Structure formats: C-alpha cells, structure tokens
Amino acid sequence: MEYRLLVSSSVAPFRKKAERAWDIERYKWPRDIFKHCVFFGLYHWVDYLKFLIHLGPKSVFWCGSDLLQLKHWVVHFLQSADHYVENDVERERLLRYQVVAEVRPSFVDEILEISFKPSKTPHVFMCCHREREDEYGMELVNRIAARVPKTTFHIYGIKVGRFSPNIIYHGKVPEKQFNEEIKQYQAGIRLNEFDGNSEVTMKSVLMGQYPITRIKYPHIDHCETTEGLIGLLRELKNKKGPNYGAREFWLNNINKYPWTTNMRKSGRIGE
C-alpha cells in the first residue's frame, strides 16, 4: 500500500523531520486523493476539511494538543480512520469520544549517541513556552528549586523567569546548539500533565540519561506528586552509568506504524 503524509500547518516544523524519519512522501492533492493518507495532527477546520474530502484510506497520528482542540462535530467522521496516540492519557481522551486508538510512540528527530556522565551535582533540562509556563511546569520548578539546591535546572524556550540560583534560562537556541548542550546533563524533565511523546524525554533517554515525566511511560521515571519529583531529582546523583536498558527499549519501540515498514535502519532516524 502506498502511504502519503499530510502534516497540519500547526506543526509545520515537524513536516520534513517526519517525512525523513518515516521515509514517506508528502501528500499532494488531487494526485494522492485515493492513496492511504496519514494525517499528522488535526488542529483546525482546514485539517478537518482535508480529512473529509480525502477519498482513500486514512490514518491519524495525534500530536497531543490537537486532542484538546477536538471538535464534537467531526467525531462521527473520525470513525472512518485508524488512530494512533503516544500514551494512555491521549488514548483515554479519545475514548471520551468513542474513538479507539492504538498507543504507538514516535520520535522523528536525530538519535543522539550515549553521552551520560554521573554527577553529584546533576543538571536537568526542560523546554517551556512563553505564556504557557504553568502548563510546562515552571511554577512547580520554582516551588521546588530551593529544596534541591545541588540540582541545576536549564530552561529552554524562555529567556526570563523567577530568579533562583540554580535555575538558568537559555531562551530559544538553534537545535544543533540545544543538542550539544543537553549532552552534558543528566536528565530531561517533562512536567506537562497532557502531552504526546516529548522530544525532551526521548532525546534524554536515548542519550542514556534518566528523564522524569508526569505521564507514565515504560522504563521512564515518572512523578505523580511534588514530593515524588523531588525524590527523583535527589536520586539522580546516585546514577552511576548510562541508562542502557531504557535506551534499548525505546530504540526498539518507536515509530512502529504500518507506514514505517520499510523505514531505513541506521544510527540516525530516517538516514
């Protein structure tokens, strides 16, 4: 079966990455109207319109925040497609609309080499967006920073925030620079309560680090309470070597979709 990829404009920066990682051609209308279309995100009315007028088989890869914007009127039409999400939180959200989805996480970025080095004064990194600080967990970090003074928090995406001696704001940086800098750290933290399979989490675990999330994922530490997060951060100083087991699990369990059957195998996704 021939698959084509149609990426929502709301996540346009992921278009080339997904095409490369999944080894799939971009959808062209009307040429591909009868081929199997993989919709990467359904965010707005233009996405819904494209979904409705496509006449071939359909699959939907839900990105996360698009599920929070799902419109009731389109739910009936979604039954005609196969659906894929990246964790149980997303799957349960779709079930509210009687839409059944399979949990199959993705990662469409570069697979970084193992770089973990133990540290008695761990450094952790997270990403955040301006005016969405609470959603990404900055309020929580601000509350606990003084209780883990030997842990340094590196915040990417915003330039300023509440001052703390162990919080560093990096702002937006080029991806190459970001990848180089995070190699020095011990964990990526992802504190969103509703999320897909974050690049922060995946880059961290694939580098052999010990990421921490609010959502439960296999072979990744997760925290359900503030005290739980503090405990996991304090435990980082006791990690003696790379997280080989978790890295191997995720290398073998990302991008398992019908349209990636012929995906190229290499040390870097899609190459």
This prediction's pTM: 0.92
Q: How far apart are CA 265 and CA 96, in angstroms?
A: 37
pLDDT band at 263 (very low <50, low <70, confident <90, very high): low
* Residues pairing with 58 in the sheet: 37
Q: Return the beta strands (E) in the chain as ranges.
A: 3-7, 25-26, 36-40, 58-61, 82-85, 102-103, 123-127, 152-156, 167-171, 187-190, 212-213, 221-222
Q: Return the beta strands (E) in 62-106 as ranges.
A: 82-85, 102-103
Residue type, 166: N
Phi, psi torsion values for 58, nearest 5 degrees: -135, 145
pLDDT band at 270 (very low <50, low <70, confident <90, very high): very low
Q: What is the pLDDT of residues 187-246, one digit of tens each?
A: 999 999 999 999 999 999 999 999 999 999 999 999 999 999 999 999 999 999 999 999
Average pLDDT over residues 72-76: 88
> What is the per-residue pLDDT for 1?
86
> What is the per-residue pLDDT for 262?
65
Q: How far apart are CA 207 and CA 269, in angstroms?
A: 14
Residue type, 271: E
Q: What is the pLDDT of residues 138-172, one digit of tens each?
A: 999 999 999 999 999 999 999 999 999 999 999 99
Q: How far apart are CA 232 and CA 193, in angstroms?
A: 17
Q: How far apart are CA 237 and CA 171, in angstroms?
A: 26
Q: Hey, what are 153's tokens?
A: 């928090």
- Compute the half-sphere exposure of residue 33: CA atoms within 13 Å on the CB side of its CA: 8
Summary mean pLDDT of the chain: 94
What interhelical angle do 244-251 and 199-206 show, nearest 10? Answer: 120
Q: What is the pLDDT of residues 82-126, one digit of tens each?
A: 999 999 999 999 999 999 999 999 999 999 999 999 999 999 999
Q: How far apart are CA 205 and CA 260, in angstroms?
A: 22
pLDDT at position 271 over 90: no
Average pLDDT over residues 36-46: 97
pLDDT at position 268 over 80: no
Q: What percent of the chain has pLDDT over 90?
A: 93
